[in-house]
Chain A
Amino acid sequence: MSGVLTLGSLEPAFEAVGRIEGEMVVLDLRSVEFVEPAGLCGLAALLEFLTPRASIVGVRLAGYNVPAYLERMNFFRIFGHRIETNVDVTALEERRRGNPGTLQELVNFHSEEEIPGIINRVSVILENKEYRLRERAAICATLSEVCANAVEHGASSFGAYAAVQAYQHIVSGRHGSSRGERRGEEVLIAIADGGVGVRETLSRNPEYAEFTKTDSDALRHALKMGVSGTGEIGRGGGLAVVGQISARAGGSLSLRSGSGRITFYGDRTNSRNVPPFPGAFVRVSLPRKAEG
């Protein structure tokens, strides 16, 4: 495992989930040095899939920063009683401090009615941080749309998880870490649900038969304006608008469901096949433009 915990770095574990039949499982995350919201939501979803199948799930972490970050993001509050860990959580709780970049700690939600409360909290934090109205609107509208998709199409026993974090540097790969261009600010939004997945949702609409042959095809189609499982006019616009918002900000929208994964940058869309992810996963990158 690399130093950054992302959804991708959890792929081998997701691949192994289906083979677990009551054994003890240990997630060795000791090499993790940095956790982004996508990794946190991915870890939450993984544990939701793992814990019913395993007798005990152990999570091994190293150092101070990663356990402290997970504590501040409410990870242990949600999962502490369901896992065994080598981390002294009590000591972390005592030293708990706010994280200046955290816009939303890991939150578990099940219904649309919970979303306005989440958006209100994030908006207040952004306002206190003096984000401009248009930036707040972009971040909050993005978060609400993907959260709404998760509860509407991703109904599952565990609902959905979301986390949002602002960084004082660019985290996403597109900005060319190989060239050392990591200056700037970026807001990362991640949401994971345990529902039936995008392909199955769209397959309910017979009109989309030719667009749902593979998971990647379904994900590409889901990004188009007006594409929805029900086919009702007016539906299926949320994700398309989120794609436009992220592209306009110079960021990206990544979708993952089944064995498909696509990343939309506005002018191009990358896709590749990946180990199966049950449910659906969304990651949005919104770089902050310079003032003026």
Chain B
Amino acid sequence: MISLKTVRTQPVAEERARVVYDVASGEAGGKLMVTRGTGRRVREALAEALEGLSSGGVLYVDTRGVELMDYSFADEALGILVSRAAAGEYGEKGVVLVEGDRELLENIEASLRQRGLAMIRVDEPGASPQLVGEVPEHLVETLQTIQDAGSITNADLAAKLGLNHTACNNRATRLFKLGLIHRHKNTAAPGGRQYSYEGIS
């Protein structure tokens, strides 16, 4: 017999829709990504892919085939996209960068920092998540804990971080709104609803 407590503390990660957009081979993309105009066209293609995803889905923006990008492209294609996603323009969907740790990241990093935003980066879809951009210091530990757990309830997260439930919920909600984690309600939780959080990778 499985107790309700066990179910609550180890929520099962949801099956999520995943779409990979390969920037280098995309119609709007290529290997040399420069200028805001090019960035705008790639962003429009990415936004279309995001809009086609079901709620809770993840769009993987794969830039591994891109040889170089300039700051203007990075800001227009990814900075603005992440900014709009964080503002809730595409609903509850995640945007993840698929890219290795190389110099090309600097322009994306610079754009996101400039905007006070961040996005998850993975070496390949499903690999361990890294951060690109800027996340307030106090949220980094919260994000790391959620990522390490894979999926965790607010109560368990609060216990791990030594926070009260409200403070913990506020931090996780901020991360959710930045598009860095998934969040869902545990309606079966006794004593009222409770959020669970899930890392994106």
Contacts and interface: CB of A to CB of B under 8 A. Distances in A.
Contacts of A134: 103
A120 B33 CA distance: 10
A225 B37 CA distance: 21
A112 B37 contact: yes
Interface string A205-243: 000000000000000000001100000011101101100
Please classify how large the interface on chain A is, using the bins under 10, 10 to 19, 20 to 34, 35 or more.
Answer: 20 to 34
Contacts of A113: 37
A148 interface: yes
B106 A112 contact: no
Interface stretch (A94-102, A138-146, A190-198, A260-268): A138-146
Contact of B106 (A144, A238, A241): A241
Contact of A112 (B35, B68, B69): B35
B80 A234 contact: yes
A241 B110 contact: yes
A119 B34 contact: yes
A62 interface: no
Given A233-B115, A241-B106, A119 B32 contact: yes
B70 interface: yes
Contact of A136 (B67, B114, B115): B67
B71 interface: yes
A136 B31 CA distance: 12
Nearest to A123: B32
Please classify how large the interface on chain B is, using the bins under 10, 10 to 19, 20 to 34, 35 or more.
Answer: 20 to 34
Interface in B79-113: 79-80, 83, 103-104, 106-107, 110-111
A35 interface: no
A89 interface: no
B34 A141 contact: yes
A56 interface: no
A56 to B, nearest CB: 38
Given A116-B35, A116-B38, A237-B75, A141 B110 contact: no
Nearest to A118: B34
Given A238-B71, A238-B72, A148 B107 contact: no
Contacts of A123: 32, 67-68
Contacts of B32: 116, 119-120, 123, 140
A24 interface: no
Contact of A226 (B37, B103, B114): B114
Contacts of B69: 141
B136 to A, nearest CB: 17
Nearest to B116: A233
A276 to B, nearest CB: 29
A153 to B, nearest CB: 13
Contacts of A133: 67-68
B36 interface: yes
Contacts of A115: 34-35
Give me the 6 closest cross-chain CB pairs, A-B, nearest first. Answer: A144-B34, A137-B68, A141-B70, A241-B71, A234-B75, A144-B70
Interface of A: 112-113, 115-116, 119-120, 123, 133-134, 136-137, 140-141, 144-145, 148, 225-226, 233-235, 237-238, 240-241, 244
12 contacts: A112-B36, A120-B32, A141-B71, A144-B34, A144-B35, A145-B71, A148-B36, A148-B70, A237-B71, A237-B111, A241-B70, A244-B106
